[in-house]
Amino acid sequence: MSEREQAVPPPSEPSRIAVLDRAEGKCVVTTRAVASGQELLVFDGSLCHEPGKYTLQVDEALHVESPKADWHFINHACAPNARIDLSAGPGRARLIAAVDLEPGQEVTFNYLTTEWDLATPFRCFCQAPHCVGWIRGARYLDEAQLAAFRSDFAPHILRLLRRTRASWTG
């Protein structure tokens, strides 16, 4: 096993999130108040080379997957309250609160900041000013959408944009 494939140990303290089963579908909510910058989840699954419905893209051709339900039901939002942190490397992805969260608040992140080409595209109805509508992956975003999210993209998405978009200067 190479260094990048080593599993991340789970957080030692009780989980800050839980799955909530709502009439409109499952989601993930906080179990307590969480301050901006605090860790919500470690993506400590196995690495694979193809995207799936529940994978998180962590590098240009690397995805991480897990059977954990609290991971599967973190919904997308175009103006989310959490973000993916890959600063410790592709094998150490973490979900971080982007703002102060109340207990019981739904946790979301912008899938377009990590996913280049989604295995299962879907329609977003989040009503954010920059809502993209069809969520297919960062590769399909137009120039205005790229500009709206440019400070949030993961390093591998920035690299792919630099390589594939002549106009991209981010």
Assess 8 for contact with Zn ion (CB under 5 A): no
For residues 95-115, one letter each, b for 16 or more C-beta atoms within 10 angstroms of the residue's C-beta and e for the rest, the string is bbbbeebeeebbbbbbbbbbb
DSSP 8-class letter at 167: T
How far apart are CB 81 and Zn ion at their closest, in Å? Answer: 13
What track of x and - describes contact with Zn ion for positions 90 through 129 (by CB under 5 A)? ----------------------------------x-x---
Assess 79 for contact with Zn ion (CB under 5 A): no
| First-to-last C-alpha distance (Å) of the chain | 34
Residue 141 half-sphere exposure toward CB, CA atoms < 13 A: 34
Where do the H-state alpha helices sit in the chain?
69-72, 143-149, 155-164
What track of x and - describes contact with Zn ion for positions 136 through 165 (by CB under 5 A)? ------------------------------
**Nearest to Zn ion of 68, 139 (CB atom):** 139
How far apart are CB 124 and Zn ion at their closest, in Å? Answer: 3
Dihedral through CA 40, CA 18, CA 79, CA 142, nearest 10? 90
Other beta carbons within 10 angstroms of residue 164's beta carbon come to 11
**Nearest to Zn ion of 22, 125 (CB atom):** 125
How far apart are CB 63 and Zn ion at their closest, in Å? Answer: 22
Which one of 38, 131, 145, 158 is in contact with Zn ion (CB under 5 A)? 131
Query: Which residues contact Zn ion by CB under 5 A?
Result: 78, 124, 126, 131
